Structure 1
């Protein structure tokens, strides 16, 4: 069986340096670490996880908090893409991911207790019931955390610039000549949904355009079905909008389906714009104009922030806001194009 001493002999580094490279010590140069890891892989070396835990006093495990009762589901293309990029960074640094809940051994407890029992080194939060006292208990503990798409002073946070994205979406639709612009919101249950609605309303005000209350239709949980239902209600209005900005791509795709079922053509009869730029957005007909969030960067920065917090001295909580961009495709056009 290959040992660290064999790897030390092959590479010319000391056993101590080899051990530090495996355990991500900051005083080992990245070039050295990569050389040692490459040699270890060539020699078929498998580090003993138990021994590594005893040596470093770490579990090498990151907890993942993703509460399914939001209705969004981990299968949503946005979340799955962000989780994948987060995982790639964490795994490259030697960490495994473990989903956590309030159920421990079949009994109801709390997130913090679960994390203590599992011995996780940190927690990444993708979705949660943010009003849950058990969630706040976790944030107030000494376990490092990073939260996606939320705002709090109790944790590191990473999100896209949701308000600016909504502002840009409305400005783009206005540039095409639209003035009757409706919004399918993500509902009051999510922080991004609230921010995007605020951005939509602010942009409409800046453009001097009215927002009849019936022009904001709720599409809770970012599902196709709710996008379909919201669009159907908008199309039944006496003065229907000429363009619809949806808070998520699945909502937008549901809206396109509803318009087609009503005998309308997108974008000739009504323009539809989404938010996220999920992979499917570029393959549907018409291809969806949308606000792109950089899912790879969101996951990568969240992982880097959490790893730095876990492996270094405690610092002030950071709130990273990442830029977005408009992706122009085929689902939007000037009003009355037909």
Structure 2
């Protein structure tokens, strides 16, 4: 079996230099790195995990906490895509993922205690719920941590530009002549829900739109059923909106279902915009105009932030906002106005 000593002997570099290349340290020249990696491929070197852990004093494991309120779990297309992107990026640098339960040998422990017990090098939290006490413990601990889809000053965080996404949605509807624009908002315990609602209100002020309070309806935890129910409320109004912006694609799908059940058409009678751009959004009838979150960039950026902390042996409190864009499809239609 090829060892790190064999790689060092073949390339003429020290064991320390070979180890740095294998463990992705940045203080090695590209020329040196290339030569060592070519030798690794040629000689079929595969590091023994126990030996690598002893040498680097790392477990080469990243803990994963996943929390959401829909009961869908990791099958939700947004969370699934973000976690997969994170996983692919971390695997490029030799890390395994550890999804945890808080039960250890029938004894309930905090996430922090569990990760200490398992000796992980860092933790990624994919969390839609604000103010969870267990997540707060992780944020405030010395353990390298990155949070996806939530804001914090106690940990590194990565999230989409949620507020601006709402502005893009309202700008588009306004440009099509809509003035009676409603919003189905996400639960206010979630960072995305609060920021998207703030962005909607900001966009209304930008365009001097004075809409009734009844046009702003709670869509709960971003489900199709809650979107359908919220749309039914809007359709029951004496003066229903001509356009609806839902803070999640699943809620938008539910809204479209409610509109069709009422015998109305999208977009001929009511225009609809969603948020996320999950894969199915382009395949429904009509294809959904939506605000696209870059899920691949969310996951890979979070991985880079966490790996930087692990390699530097420091806890960083850094926030990265990922840009969003409006994807225009067929669920919105221009209105004629007198303006």
TM-score (norm 1): 0.93
Does the residue aligned with 1:210 lie in a helix, a strand or coil?
coil
Query: What is the alpha-carbon distance in structure 2 between the residues aligned to residue 147 and residue 318 of structure 1?
Result: 10
2:75 aligned partner: 75
Greater CA deviation, 3-12 or 190-199? 3-12
2:176 aligned partner: 176
Greater CA deviation, 102-111 or 70-79? 70-79
**Structure 1 residues 47, 108: CA separation in 2 closer, same or farther (over 3 Å shift)?**
same
- The answer as to 2:242 corresponding to 1:242 is yes
Query: What is the alpha-carbon distance in structure 1 between the residues aligned to residue 231 and residue 319 of structure 2?
Result: 34
What is the aligned residue count? 337
Deviations 1:218-248 (A, max 9, x none): 2222112221221122112111110000101
Listed as ranges, the matches of 1:296-311 within 5 Å are 296-311=296-311
Query: What is the alpha-carbon distance in structure 2 between the residues aligned to residue 118 and residue 167 of structure 1?
Result: 44
1:8 aligned partner: 8
1:159 aligned partner: 159
Displacement of 1:314 in angstroms is: 2.9
Residues 275 and 291 in structure 1, CA contact (< 8 A), matched pair in contact too: yes
Residues 130 and 136 in structure 1, CA contact (< 8 A), matched pair in contact too: no
Does the residue aligned with 1:208 lie in a helix, a strand or coil?
coil
Does the residue aligned with 1:74 lie in a helix, a strand or coil?
helix
Does the residue aligned with 2:75 lie in a helix, a strand or coil?
coil
Greater CA deviation, 101-110 or 141-150? 101-110
1:115 aligned partner: 115
Deviations 1:122-150 (A, max 9, x none): 11111165433332222211101111121
Residues 201 and 211 in structure 1, CA contact (< 8 A), matched pair in contact too: no
2:127 aligned partner: 127
2:215 aligned partner: 215
Query: What is the alpha-carbon distance in structure 2 between the residues aligned to residue 128 and residue 77 of structure 1?
Result: 14
1:27 aligned partner: 27
2:283 aligned partner: 283
Q: Structure 2: which 5+ residue stretches go unaligned?
A: none
Residues 145 and 315 in structure 2, CA contact (< 8 A), matched pair in contact too: no
2:92 aligned partner: 92
Displacement of 1:115 in angstroms is: 0.8
1:334 aligned partner: 334
Query: What is the alpha-carbon distance in structure 1 between the residues aligned to residue 37 and residue 257 of structure 2?
Result: 51
Residues 228 and 257 in structure 1, CA contact (< 8 A), matched pair in contact too: yes
- The answer as to 2:204 corresponding to 1:204 is yes
Displacement of 1:315 in angstroms is: 6.2
**Structure 1 residues 6, 257: CA separation in 2 closer, same or farther (over 3 Å shift)?**
same
Residues 129 and 190 in structure 2, CA contact (< 8 A), matched pair in contact too: no
- The answer as to 2:65 corresponding to 1:61 is no
Deviations 1:86-129 (A, max 9, x none): 11111101111111232222211101100100111111111165
Does the residue aligned with 1:334 lie in a helix, a strand or coil?
coil
Runs of 4+ in 1 over 6 A off after TM superposition: none
Displacement of 1:17 in angstroms is: 2.5
**Structure 1 residues 111, 71: CA separation in 2 closer, same or farther (over 3 Å shift)?**
same
Query: What is the alpha-carbon distance in structure 2 between the residues aligned to residue 264 and residue 286 of structure 1?
Result: 13
Q: Give the RMSD, CA atoms, in angstroms.
A: 2.0
Displacement of 1:15 in angstroms is: 3.5
TM-score (norm 2): 0.93
Displacement of 1:12 in angstroms is: 4.7
Query: What is the alpha-carbon distance in structure 1 between the residues aligned to residue 335 and residue 217 of structure 2?
Result: 21
1:192 aligned partner: 192
Query: What is the alpha-carbon distance in structure 2 between the residues aligned to residue 153 and residue 179 of structure 1?
Result: 38
1:48 aligned partner: 48
Query: What is the alpha-carbon distance in structure 1 between the residues aligned to residue 287 and residue 32 of structure 2?
Result: 46
Query: What is the alpha-carbon distance in structure 2 between the residues aligned to residue 279 and residue 34 of structure 1?
Result: 38
Query: What is the alpha-carbon distance in structure 1 between the residues aligned to residue 15 and residue 313 of structure 2?
Result: 26
Residues 72 and 221 in structure 1, CA contact (< 8 A), matched pair in contact too: no
